[in-house]
Amino acid sequence: MRAQSENGEGPVAIGLQGLLQTLTGAASPRLRPDAADRSPALRSCPKDAQPPAAGTGERRKGPGSPGLRRRASDHLKLLKRFWFSASGFWHPPKAGAARALTALLLAIAMLQLLVQYSLNVWNRGFFDAIGRRDGVVLLEQTMLFVPLAAGSVTLAVAAVWGRMTMQRCWRAWLSEYVLQLWMTEDRWKRLQFVEGEHENPEFRIAEDVRIATDAPVDLALGFLASLLTALTFIHVLWTVGGSMTFDIDGISLVIPGYLVVGALAYSFAINGGILLIGRELTAVVESKNRTEARFRAATGRLRESAEGPAAVTSDFGVQRRCILDAVHQVISAWRALCNQLMRVTIVSNANTLLAPVVGLALAAPQYLAGGLSLGELAQASAAFVLVSGAFNWVCDNYPRLADWSSSAHRVAHLLLSLDQVDRDRGKPVATAGPKNHPQTDAPQRERSSMSDIARGIPAIDGTRSLR
């Protein structure tokens, strides 16, 4: 292994430079997945085994460069195409089980909120007993904690069962749908003649469908819990915290519900920071998934050639170079992903440390002035953490959102390409799915809507269209 880079820099210097670029957001050729040597051997690789073209991985300079700054409308169209197919899980004849699971998860979320609110009230009584040095009440509060804790654990276990059952059933349904769409009427053969982002369809069905159905369940339940928590504990903050009066040059300034205002301002700052720092994370995750898929395709092609006639193995040297180039692209993409996650972690970890401290600091003046008891101080601080955590849902789930968006886009591109196969043959779009899918018997106007969605959507690398 070389101890220095080609320009003479040592590993320590390279590491420091990479850390500085991570913190500042500066672009560097070292972090670009498209910075590999575009050798003649690489250009001779099969399309599905080639690394992504320039502009598909990291920040590109110049107003006209494609890749990371794709239009938001294209993302919405891709998500619309994905949801058009994936939502069939909630339609007959599978609707009964799917809707029952959904109702169960909603009921569990409501019960968890009730237990969380009870624990917040218990927090106040417990610390008030400590402040009064009341041993009898303290013992009562300790005994009350036992059923609350047991209920919380029971509901958490039930939530895990319901969530994973929903994910498993939804994945099974969508996998069957996409597989039938891909494998029937020779679409799997005709797909190679259609332009678009649809390489490695087997990986998209096996892996991207899994992520695209796992993440929405977690994210939706988390968002619902955050919304209910915010609505509930904003009332607690408003009631317990009261108003704060500031005297400025003889003028009294009253801020009603100042703890709520503080929680909103703090959450706005954290979410703004995470959206600014991690704005490129989705594109980097897409680049990583794409390079991983192409690496698997390159190694699979070599295995297939070894199992075929001897004449097929004559291009072993070219295939070997393709695999090595694909490995280089995978490592570069992971380095770029590390760069993005480090930046996001700065904000998320800072939020974890700051939220309870900021809550105590905001409530402390009221406590020192005698407006709050020790129990109310503890209750207000805990409620502040819950409210800020609810409003910081984007901050906490941003990497997961980026991962889901990437996989949903890849599944949508495959579905759009299969739609294009049917259009090229003069057939109605998406009529070969499972018989329990709503669009199988959908009116022609719904099928035509897929044609409208497909028009003008570029491939992930921004270089081709399904037009």
Map residue 28 onto helix, strand or coil.
coil
Between CA 340 and CA 348 the distance in angstroms is: 13
The fold of 29-50+74-454 is ABC transporter transmembrane region fold (1.20.1560)
Closest CA to 35 of 9, 55, 61, 11: 55
Please confirm whether the linkage preceding 216 is cis (ω < 30° from 0): no
**CB distance 78 to 125 below 8 Å:** no
Residue pLDDT tens, the chain, 467 long = 334 443 444 443 434 344 334 433 444 333 343 433 344 444 445 554 454 443 343 344 443 444 444 556 677 888 888 999 999 899 887 788 899 999 999 999 999 999 999 998 898 889 888 888 888 888 999 999 999 999 999 999 999 999 999 999 999 999 999 998 888 888 888 887 887 777 778 888 888 899 999 999 999 999 999 899 888 888 888 888 777 777 777 777 778 888 888 888 888 888 888 888 877 887 788 788 788 878 877 887 777 776 655 445 456 777 788 888 888 888 988 888 888 888 888 888 888 888 888 888 888 888 888 888 888 888 888 888 888 888 888 777 877 888 888 888 889 988 988 888 888 776 665 543 444 444 443 333 333 444 443 444 333 333 333 33
3-state secondary structure of 465: strand
Question: Based on C-alpha coordinates, what's the Rg of the chain?
Answer: 27
**Which residue, chain included where needed, has tokens 């988390």?**
222
CB 340 within 8 A of CB 280: yes
Q: Cβ neighbours of residue 87 under 8 Å, at least 6 residues apart?
A: 438
The answer, yes or no, to whether the previous bond of 438 is cis (omega within 30 of 0) is no
Q: How many residues does the chain have?
A: 467
Could you tell me which residues are beta bridge partners of residue 458?
465
- Rounded Cα distance between 274 and 402, Å, is 12
Instruction: Please name the helix (run of DSSP H) or strand (run of DSSP E) that holds residue 67, with its range, or none.
Output: none
